[in-house]
Structure 1
């Protein structure tokens, strides 16, 4: 079986690089949170940090899965590898479960997280876009 690989357009590369930068920011966010770096602690009030520290460990694990599979998926997009699609699907699922828990299930103790809520929706939409983009790239023969 031969796989046809077509040359991707310039916008494929632009989107892939932007997606990698986006996911790189996610990796930075995860590392900042996991190691409680000032980039993380300075962005929240004491009350917000207490609520976030009380989130279950599986929530943090989903964060790691979402950002690292997303970043690796974007690297594979740039390398034009079909496995990018699977990693971006995994990233989307992990991010969506994490954000649904944060938005609708977690006990936020009445603390205002409105800025985080906007970002949560943006993350889900962008992750879904990357699933579509990788699927489209496979169909067009840009990645194999």
Structure 2
């Protein structure tokens, strides 16, 4: 018995590489935030310092799950593995928890107002796209 795998278009590989680069940027930002020295925190704008000081540990865990899930999902796409969808779902869930927490638990809304929603909306749109794309790739037989 032979398995027929549908041919992947060039756009598949472009999206997979861009997904990895995007999520590696997120992972870098997470690492920089976690490793920030008191001097680096002091150099941040006052709004960001106040939000960071009010951020509970569980939100940092959600942030880590979001970026690590995204990196692993992108690696899964590059390796043509079905589990990419699971990690993109983990990434989306972590991101939703992080974004909701930021506006419900920290003073982000008071300090940033509606303009503070721009980046979370962009992040959510990209995470939703990557999850949807991975699911379509699996349905088309591009992932094993």
TM-score using structure 1 length: 0.87
Q: Unaligned stretches of 5+ in structure 1?
A: none
Change beyond 3 A, Cα 1:129–1:102 = same
Equivalent position SS for 2:92: helix
Separation (CA, whole Å) in 1 of partners of 2:8 and 2:41: 41
TM-score using structure 2 length: 0.87
Q: Unaligned stretches of 5+ in structure 2?
A: none
Count of residue correspondences: 142
After superposition, residues 91-102 of structure 1 pair within 5 angstroms as: 91-102=91-102
Change beyond 3 A, Cα 1:59–1:132 = same
Change beyond 3 A, Cα 1:65–1:81 = same
**1:139 alignment counterpart:** 139
The structural deviation recorded for 1:49 is: 1.2
Separation (CA, whole Å) in 2 of partners of 1:115 and 1:2: 54
The structural deviation recorded for 1:122 is: 0.6
Equivalent position SS for 2:80: coil
Partners of 2:42 and 2:49 within 8 A in 1:
no
